[in-house]
Amino acid sequence: DIDHLNLRVQKELVEWLNWLKADIGFDGWRFDFAKGYSAVVAKIYIDRSEPSFAVAEIWTSLAYGGDGKPNLNQDQHRQELVNWVDKVGGKGPATTFDFTTKGILNVAVEGELWRLRGTDGKAPGMIGWWPAKAVTFVDNHDTGSTQHMWPFPSDRVMQGYAYILTHPGTPCIFYDHFFDWGLKEEIDRLVSVRTRHGIHSESKLQIIEADADLYLAEIDGKVIVKLGPRYDVGNLIPGGFKVAAHGNDYAVW
């Protein structure tokens, strides 16, 4: 165990971080198992090393109902993520992985897309509250891959990417999906749409529909994304929009 309250430990870790920046070229940090030490400690390392980006892994369980599925309201879960950023310093480079969005997406793509509209009409994850500080993802080395601890439904992974790559927040692409699953071209097309239209972490999200078999949203008035098997959505797509990417149960205009 490391005693992060020990001043010598703090000094040596800060020196190491600054060496990684100056000599090796790293410019951002990932705080693994950030529940294991206080946000006050993380703030010390961030403030004294000044990375351009920092993201924390705060993985806690969602709130579940008697049916074994997540409750619609996950405010307590995303509040914990927001609180960490607040304590570290909201004006700085600190962000957190949006585990709230990950958990809701896991279930939503299995015929419950209504979950993607929160009770306030906004996105139900951290991106609905503080998208600039939310790093979205479909899977990572813990949840997917060989550990398989909380995997996204494997046949619906591209729906997950269609969501995070068109929505606010800072999307993160999983190595396995991109290089090992044969999804590189499909993911690349979505990245191109995001880049071409300037979608960013604080883009404006307007949810048009959120039913069991259809999720439809417009981002910055430039991009429209559809998830789900329903195809008769032509009447909901404004004139001038053309399909830019599509795949199994998703499309982007």
pLDDT, tens digit, 9 for 90 and up, residues 195-233 = 999 999 999 999 999 999 999 999 999 999 999 999 999
Catalytic residue (one of 12, 15, 23, 57)? 57
Is 32 designated active site?
yes
Is 218 designated active site?
no
| Other beta carbons within 10 Å of 215 | 27
pTM tops 0.95, yes or no: yes
Catalytic residue (one of 1, 23, 32, 232)? 32
| Other beta carbons within 10 Å of 140 | 20
Residue spans of the chain under pLDDT 50: none
User: According to the model, what pLDDT value does residue 1 have?
Assistant: 78
- Name the token pair of 97: 């992985």
| Other beta carbons within 10 Å of 180 | 11
Question: Domain residues of the chain, as ranges?
Answer: 58-203
- Name the token pair of 145: 């891959």
Fold (CATH) for 58-203: TIM Barrel (3.20.20)
Task: Using CB atoms within 10 Å of the CB of residue 32, give its burial: 0 to 12 exposed, 13 to 18 middle, 19+ buried.
Answer: exposed
User: According to the model, what pLDDT value does residue 52 have?
Assistant: 98
- Name the token pair of 65: 């109902």
Helix (H) or strand (E) holding 31: strand 28-31
User: According to the model, what pLDDT value does residue 2 have?
Assistant: 86
What does the chain come to in residues? 253
Q: pLDDT, tens digit, for every residue of 164-202?
A: 999 999 999 999 999 999 999 999 999 999 999 999 999
CB 124 within 8 A of CB 117: yes
CB 137 within 8 A of CB 96: no
User: According to the model, what pLDDT value does residue 193 have?
Assistant: 98
CA-CA-CA-CA torsion for 190, 193, 195, 200, nearest 10 degrees? -80
The overall average pLDDT reported for the chain is: 97
